[in-house]
Amino acid sequence: MTALAFKRDTTPNLFAQDFAQNRSVFPGAGLAWLEARRSAAMDAFAKTGVPTRRVEAWKYTDLANALEADAIPAARFHGSLDADNPFAIAGGAELLLVNGFLQRSIGAKGIEIVDLGGLDSNTPDWVKENLGLMAAGAAQPLGAASLALMRGGAALRVRGHETVRLHFANPASDHDTVSHARVLIVAEAGASLRLFESHSSEGESQSLANLGMELVLKSGAKMEHIRVQTGAANALHVTSLGASLAKDAEYRALYAAMGGRLSRLDIDVKLGSAGAHATLHNVAVLNAGIADVTTVMDHAAAHTTSRQLFKSVVGGRGRSVNQGRVSVRKGAVKSDSHQLFKALLLSPRAEADAKPELEIFADDVVCGHGTAIGALDADALFYLRARGIPELEAKGLLIRAFLADALEGFGDEALRDALSVRLDAALGALEEATP
């Protein structure tokens, strides 16, 4: 397989080379509907290429500069894999994707699963009607690349009240690798889904995992989405998520980033009809690398609501990025939206960048945003120490209290405990490394 050079002078053409050389062996090659969408996605990607800081939406996260080594497209994994899924206790359907390929799936009665690595002329209509219509345009260039260069992934159709665990693993490799995958989830009218998503990687070689995720919530559908992303020190991870919410649909999400050299979560939510509601919470704990969450909340209809709360704890030489644009379209009266970004900096070299934006083209709306970045409260720390609590423990209590409201209300107690174990491990490593 042809190696793909991650170099500054060739990076803009990197994925175009892959498309030209390997498209004949991509899943679904020859299917007219998919070929047309792949080509359109590659055209959309070409407008930006692999983003640099010259691209406004990526001004804080230079992905092109991070790609420094030669890489080959990741191959389907063969062998045993000890995949550590933090949500194993959740039950329900389970899907394991390794290097972007669907490795194992355990279904449930109310869920239809399609392997996107095996698309052919028998592909169900609901996949044809939805795959590649979101997270595949110029505004999400890596999402466009994930569709154009898709080797694998999964599509799920949910009809009842279900739970799904998605785990993505990138095992250690002798080579630097790049993988492109897609996930499509269609929640039918009145359905409800608890989606638990986790990402992990191993090894010293550089890996770029590029995922495009599409969520279609039909009338009255509900989805709770909890996502945990960890990674090896040299791992790069980009997820482009597009969600479409119909009348009275509700999407509640908690995202957690706790590792890797660079992670980018690029979210575009369309509130397309009255009663649609989205709640996005994010927590990031990092001592090195970059964790970037960029959102577009599109109030496309009247009487829609959204809430966003992002919390970051950054030590060492880590860097958190939170960008959020709320757009209220013409005629979307009674829209109600609020976003709040907060960050704790625990070392002199830690950095947090926040960029909230409002675009309002309608009257009679309620929209607001806020940002706060700073160090631990010295008075609160003194108060705890004065009562005999050691400094390190006192800092830990304050940090956990800072994150508490972002975690509140998601999952049951057992799942929150499982998530807290991961957060405590990340916080412990951060506290040990921070003077």
Answer whether 338's CB lies under 8 Å from 369's CB: yes
**pLDDT at residue 427, as a whole number:** 86
pLDDT digits (tens, 9 = 90+) for 198-212: 999 998 899 999 999
Q: Which two tokens stand for residue 49?
A: 């290429």
Neighbours of 190 (CB within 10 A): 15
Please give the angle made by the CA atoms of 358, 364 and 366, to the nearest 5 degrees: 45
73's enclosing H/E stretch is: strand 70-73
Using one digit for the tens of pLDDT, what is the confidence trace for 266-321?
A: 999 999 999 999 999 999 999 999 999 999 999 999 999 999 999 999 999 999 99
Is residue 157 within 8 A of residue 111, CB to CB? The reply is yes
Q: So where are the chain's domains?
A: 4-271
Distance CA 245, CA 27 (A): 28
In whole angstroms, give the CA distance from residue 146 to residue 76.
16
- For the chain, how long is the longest CA-to-CA vector? 71
Place of tokens 């960008």: 323
Contacts of 398 (CB under 8 A, 6+ apart): 376, 377, 380, 381, 384
Tokens read off for 44: 């959309």
Can you tell me whether residue 310 is helix, strand or coil? strand
Angstrom distance (rounded) from CA 74 to CA 286? 27
- Residue 352: phi and psi, rounded to 5, are -135, 130
Q: Work out the end-to-end distance of the chain between its first and last CA atoms, rounded to an integer number of angstroms.
A: 46
User: Residue 432's pLDDT band (boundaries 50, 70, 90)?
Assistant: low
> What pLDDT band is residue 413 in, cutting at 50, 70 and 90?
confident
CB neighbours (10 Å) of residue 175? 16
Q: Kindly report which listed range (8-12, 273-277, 391-395, 418-422) carries the lowest average pLDDT score.
A: 8-12
- For the record, the structure tokens of 39 come out as 């080509």
Residue 136 in this model has a pLDDT that exceeds 60 = yes
Instruction: Sort 358 into a burial class: Cβ within 10 Å, 0-12 / 13-18 / 19+.
Output: middle
Output 114 or 12, whichever has higher pLDDT: 114
